[in-house]
Amino acid sequence: MVAVSEEEKGVMFYKEILSGVAIVLTLMAFVPYIRAILGGTVKPHVFSWVIWGATTFLAFLAQLEDKGGVGAWPIGVSGSITIFIAFLAYLKRADVTITKTDWLFFVAALSSLPLWYFTSDPLWAVVLLTTVDVIGFGPTIRKAYHFPYSESLLFFGLFTVRNLLVMMAFENYSVTTLLFPAVIAVVCMLLMGMVAYRRRVLAAQGMGAV
């Protein structure tokens, strides 16, 4: 039996706390988002959420394989809830405007997903899953550009912070464990910037019309 030093125990406890906080932030982001979907104020694009649900959960499995430890658990929780939101978005028909571009993003993402199974190295699985997940933002970005009030800035803001905490909580730091949350945090920030900009533009146009 390998002895664990007090310092190692302290580090592990610290990472468990970070992982716990990240899970709490995940729930804080998802619960009001789900309520907003049910209330009709937020209209998620079903294609994006199907892609995100699949990639997030598979990335969680790859992170576990690379000994990500407790830091991977928030990703697993997120993946499970994301799959539920995808179902909810479909059930509510939250965004019925589906363009040819959306279908292109959707088909490209789903056709790439089976490839992760054939990669023996979890790194390449995560690289592929991260790429597919970013492609999954395509339909949401298109929708949010035209309808910036159909998405929640708070939701993506909480997810940005959550992903930063996840990165700090990993027991093993590697490209395999860090790539997915790092890239998604950056894309979330870019999406928030675009939504905030489009809201200002529409507000200025509305004032000009008056």
Most confidently modeled of 27-31, 99-103, 105-109?
Answer: 27-31
Q: Encoding tokens for residue 92? A: 């509510």
pLDDT at 115: 67
- Region 136-144 average pLDDT: 87
HEC string for the chain: CCCCCHHHHHHHHHHHHHHHHHHHHHHHHHHHHHHHHHHCCCCCCHHHHHHHHHHHHHHHHHHHHCCCHHHHHHHHHHHHHHHHHHHHHHHHCCCCCCCHHHHHHHHHHHHHHHHHHHCCCHHHHHHHHHHHHHHHHHHHHHHHHHCHHHCCHHHHHHHHHHHHHHHHHCCCCCHHHHHHHHHHHHHHHHHHHHHHHHHHHHHHHHHHHC
Q: Quick check: 100 and 46 in contact, CB under 8 A? A: no
| The pLDDT value given to residue 1 | 47
Q: Decide: pTM greater than 0.85.
A: no
pLDDT of 110 > 80? The answer is no
The pLDDT of residue 138: 87
What is the overall mean pLDDT for the chain?
84
